[in-house]
Amino acid sequence: MTYENIGIEYKEQWAVIIIDRPKKLNALNKATIAELSDAFGHLNADPDVRTIIITGSGEKAFVAGADISEFAHFGEAEGQRLAAEGQEKLFDLVENLGTPVIAAVNGFALGGGLELAMACHFRLASDNARMGLPEVSLGVIPGYGGTQRLPQLIGKGRAMELIMTAGMIPSEKALAYGLVNEVVAQENLVPLAEKLAAKIAQNSPVAITHAIKAVNAGFKDGTDGYQTEISAFGQCFGTADFKEGTTAFLEKRKADFPGE
């Protein structure tokens, strides 16, 4: 599959998506969102891909925001449609993807860029990364899930401050806030993500998919996360991965999960 705005590198048991619009600091436009949606769908369906890493090209930006020129002339209905379609097509897709997604934030992650990183299952950052939701400085609010995911990750008070000031925080503060899991030098960022991807790949992909679903359920209104966990736990018992994992443990050998 060939794309205009993104690239995909296939590794051992994982793939790396690279957002490649360096002249625009990898800003998200409609075409890039559509390509990312398609790529995530294809990679999620590939049984050889156990983890997905997403990062930006170059050394300046993960994603420096949305492409404002595409929607500066929109009215209310068009604005609502932009947010609804974007959330469904990409951001909610990533959050609920059965394949784990690691964001390797290699520079600016602003607006839609931070929203994309927050939709991933967890985040790593380079020491030069800066993150924020500057939308209110443009007379609008985050529209790709930022007002919901940021408070979940860093707490309501800090999220309110970051959104209302339209400020940026450095990677070390993002680490202290719990917005990212680790901060490393830029040259070590993707290698760290790949090291974690390799660890994830050793485990049951079926169980990981159920774990993602169960964890996410606890953050959804009207959903009983505990009941989702109970159901998912039981479903694991009917899988080939469960049989292999328990058999390998009893036989004192490393499990070779079939992913079924």
Residues 127, 210, single domain; the answer is no
> How high is the pLDDT of residue 167?
96
CA distance 48 to 205: 10
- The CATH number linked to 133 is 3.90.226.10
Same domain, 196 and 214: no
Residue type, 97: L
Domain annotation covers residue 57: yes
Q: How many domains does the chain have?
A: 2
Q: Which of 14, 17, 59 is nearest to 38 (CA)?
A: 17
pLDDT digits 0-9 by tens, 2-51 = 899 999 999 999 999 999 999 999 999 999 999 999 999 999 999 999 99
d(CA 195, CA 221): 34
Give domain status of residue 10, yes or no. Answer: yes
- Is residue 255 situated within a structural domain? no
Rounded Cα distance, 98 and 210, in Å: 8
pLDDT exceeding 70 applies to what percent of the chain?
Answer: 100
For residues 221 and 197, membership in a common domain is answered with no
Please indicate, yes or no, whether residues 33 and 115 belong to a single structural domain of this protein.
yes
pLDDT band at 174 (very low <50, low <70, confident <90, very high): very high
The per-residue pLDDT for 26 is 96
Catalytic member of 35, 95, 115, 194: 115
Give tens-digit pLDDT for 221-257.
899 999 999 999 999 999 999 999 999 999 999 999 9
Q: Return d(Cα 87, Cα 143) in angstroms, integer.
A: 8
258 is a domain residue: no
Same domain flag for 181 and 54: yes
Does any domain span residue 260?
Answer: no
Q: Which of 70, 135, 161, 229 is catalytic?
A: 135
Which residues span the domain enclosing 189? 6-201
Task: Bin 237: left if φ > 0, else alpha if -120 < ψ < 50, else beta.
Answer: alpha
Residues 109 and 91 in one domain: yes
Radius of gyration in angstroms for the set of CA atoms belonging to the chain, rounded to a whole number: 19
Q: Is 135 a residue of the active site?
A: yes
Are the beta carbons of 40 and 75 closer than 8 angstroms?
A: no
Do 132 and 31 fall into the same domain?
yes
With bands split at pLDDT 50, 70 and 90, how would you rate the model's confidence at 68? confident
Select from 185, 201, 217 the last residue of a domain. Answer: 201
